[in-house]
Structure 1
Amino acid sequence: MTAAPARIFASPLARRLAAAAGLDLATLTGSGPHGRIVRADVEAARAAPPPPVAAPAPTPTPPVDYDLIPLTAMRRTIARRLTEAKTTIPHFYLTAEVAMDAAIDLRGQLNQRLAPAKLSLNDLILRALALALRTVPEANAAWAEDGLHRFHAVDLAFAVATPGGLLTPVLRGADRLGLGEIATRAQDLAARARDGKLAPEDYQGGGATLSNLGMYGVRDFAAIINPPQASILAVGAAEQRPVVKDGALAVATVMSATLSVDHRVVDGATAARLLAAFKGMLEDPLRMML
Structure 2
Amino acid sequence: APVSTPTPAVPASAGTTAKGDRIKASPLAKRLAAERGIDLSAISGTGPGGRIVKDDLDGAPAGAAAPAAAPSAAAPAATAAASASAPAAAGPIPDFGIPHADTKLSGMRKTIARRLTQSMQEAPHIYLTVDIRLDALLKLRGELNASLESRGVKLSVNDMLIKALAVALERVPACNVSFGGDVMRQYSRADISVAVSIPGGLITPIITDAGGKSMSKISTEMAELAAKAKEGKLQPSEYQGGTASISNMGMMGIKQFTAVINPPQAMIMAIGAGEKRPYVVDDALAIATVMSATGSFDHRAIDGADGALLMKTFKELVESPLGLVA
Specify the TM-score bucket, using the shorter chain as the normaliser: 0.7 to 0.9
Aligned to 2:24: none
* Structure 2 counterpart SS, 1:191: helix
* Structure 1 position 86 matched with structure 2 position 127: no
Question: 1:66/1:102 Cα in 2 relative to 1: closer, same or farther (>3 Å)?
Answer: same
Once residues 112 and 282 of structure 2 are traced to their aligned partners in structure 1, the CA distance between those partners, rounded to angstroms, is: 47
Aligned to 2:169: 133
Equivalent position to 1:104, from 124, 130, 138:
138
* Structure 2 counterpart SS, 1:227: coil
Q: Which has the larger radius of gyration?
A: 1
Deviation digits for residues 264-287 of structure 1, max 9, x if unmatched?
101011111111111111100001
* Structure 1 position 220 matched with structure 2 position 256: yes
* Structure 2 counterpart SS, 1:81: helix
Once residues 95 and 63 of structure 1 are traced to their aligned partners in structure 2, the CA distance between those partners, rounded to angstroms, is: 42
Aligned to 2:109: 75
Once residues 248 and 155 of structure 1 are traced to their aligned partners in structure 2, the CA distance between those partners, rounded to angstroms, is: 39
Equivalent position to 1:185, from 221, 232, 244:
221
- The count of residues paired between Structure 1 and Structure 2 equals 235
Once residues 275 and 138 of structure 1 are traced to their aligned partners in structure 2, the CA distance between those partners, rounded to angstroms, is: 12
* Structure 2 counterpart SS, 1:125: helix
Aligned to 1:65: 99
Aligned to 1:206: 242
Once residues 304 and 230 of structure 2 are traced to their aligned partners in structure 1, the CA distance between those partners, rounded to angstroms, is: 35
Equivalent position to 2:272, from 236, 249, 270:
236
Structure 1 residue 289, shift from structure 2 partner: 0.8
Aligned to 1:118: 154
Structure 1 residue 102, shift from structure 2 partner: 0.1
Once residues 277 and 249 of structure 1 are traced to their aligned partners in structure 2, the CA distance between those partners, rounded to angstroms, is: 24
Structure 1 residue 146, shift from structure 2 partner: 4.1
Deviation digits for residues 185-243 of structure 1, max 9, x if unmatched?
11111111111111110111111000000000000000000000000000100111001
Q: Percent identity?
A: 47
Aligned to 1:161: 197
Structure 1 residue 165, shift from structure 2 partner: 0.5
* Structure 1 position 196 matched with structure 2 position 232: yes
Amino acid at match of 2:139: D
Aligned to 1:12: none
Structure 1 residue 62, shift from structure 2 partner: 7.4
The unaligned stretches of length 5 or more in structure 2 are 1-58, 63-94
Once residues 200 and 222 of structure 2 are traced to their aligned partners in structure 1, the CA distance between those partners, rounded to angstroms, is: 19
Structure 1 residue 249, shift from structure 2 partner: 1.7
Question: 1:288/1:62 Cα in 2 relative to 1: closer, same or farther (>3 Å)?
Answer: closer
CA RMSD of aligned residues (A): 1.8
